[in-house]
A = this chain, B = another copy of it.
Amino acid sequence: MIAQTLKWVGGIDGFLELIDQRRLPGELVRLQCRDTERLYEAIKTLAVRGAPAIGVSAAYGLVLGMQKLTDTDDSERGLEVLAKSCEYLASSRPTAVNLFWALDRIRQSAERFVADKPNAKLQALREVILAEANAIYQEDVKMCRRIGENGQKFIKQGAGILTHCNAGALATAGQGTALSLMFEAHKKGRKFKVYVDETRPLLQGARLTAWELKQAGIDVVVICDNTAGWLMKQGHISAVITGADRIAANGDAANKIGTYSLSVLAREHGVPFYIAAPSSTFDPSIKSGDEIPIEQRAAEEVTTFGKTQIAPDSVKVYNPAFDVTDASNITAIITERGVIKNPNADSISKYLRS
């Protein structure tokens, strides 16, 4: 069974149900968000994470925001409340591009609706907002499935796949990006094994990816990040598949720290290295990986575990959230629209224009 990260329950007066990812893998708890404050908190505290999942959640957050407006029928008042909810939710994860994109899209469609039909009742506007949120949800589900389908030839019977971090159902409304390939192959009855890097410091691989794959009945083995090269050396890995956070015009791809090392190790051992990501991940305004800003995160993520201190007091830490994999190390990028082999500035520009 593939995890369903989020689900809207009911009509315009409904609520959003989320898997609380902070409790995984220990417990599967579903969080009911019945107002924007609760959803804001869920995004901020990483109960829901992953760019697409955050975007879809925020879209539904705007549906929740409209529920407060009970003393009027005026759709202009509705737009004001919508604008405030947008601003509020945008501050929950200030660097999440999908979040802003989803909020803008809903707002624009609401404004268009009111501009077209100035006399429309608030209820009709609320229906438009819910419909747009549902559309974003459905598009995400479809995008995930298509990525999975497009990558099927890369998961062979008996394969040993290595993945890093979490690019799965928990990060999207659908069945994920990198993991979507595995879910599709599993549905087709193919047998393969997935090695999951635990992915320090936040352990998204051990906590989330391993849980998702196990739930779906896929054969999964957790390893420490430093074990991947040794597995390749012993011939256990036939492909590495990861997601990406941002892909430059020349194909250089930013993804969770550790991805770059995997790409070097894969090349050394003749193992193909694939990235699975939606077209929205390409940022043609960025020429190469050198221009991608790398978020530096708090030392405490590395030096403490829960309440346990695992490094000396006030020791210096280098904790970048991402690294950049050179396009030349990437065998192919798999998107919802197809496969870009040997990605480079030419092949990507051709793809983006097609």
Contact = CB atoms under 8 A, between A and B. Distances in A.
A153 B10 CA distance: 71
Interface in A287-343: 302-303, 305-306, 308-313, 315-320, 323
A230 interface: yes
Contacts of A315: 210, 214, 220-222
8 contacts: A198-B311, A207-B310, A211-B311, A221-B315, A222-B302, A224-B302, A230-B261, A264-B265
Interface string A155-169: 000000000100000
Nearest to A228: B261
A230 B214 contact: no
A231 interface: yes
Given A210-B315, A305-B305, A305-B306, A225 B226 contact: yes
Interface of A: 25-26, 164, 195, 197-201, 203, 206-207, 210-211, 214, 219-231, 233, 257-258, 260-261, 264-265, 268, 302-303, 305-306, 308-313, 315-320, 323
Given A214-B312, A221-B318, A222-B311, 4 more contacts: A206-B311, A222-B318, A223-B302, A226-B257
Most chain B CB atoms below 10 A, which of A195, A233, A309, A315: A315
Copies of this chain: 2
B264 A210 contact: no
A211 B312 CA distance: 6
A84 B219 CA distance: 48
A205 to B, nearest CB: 9
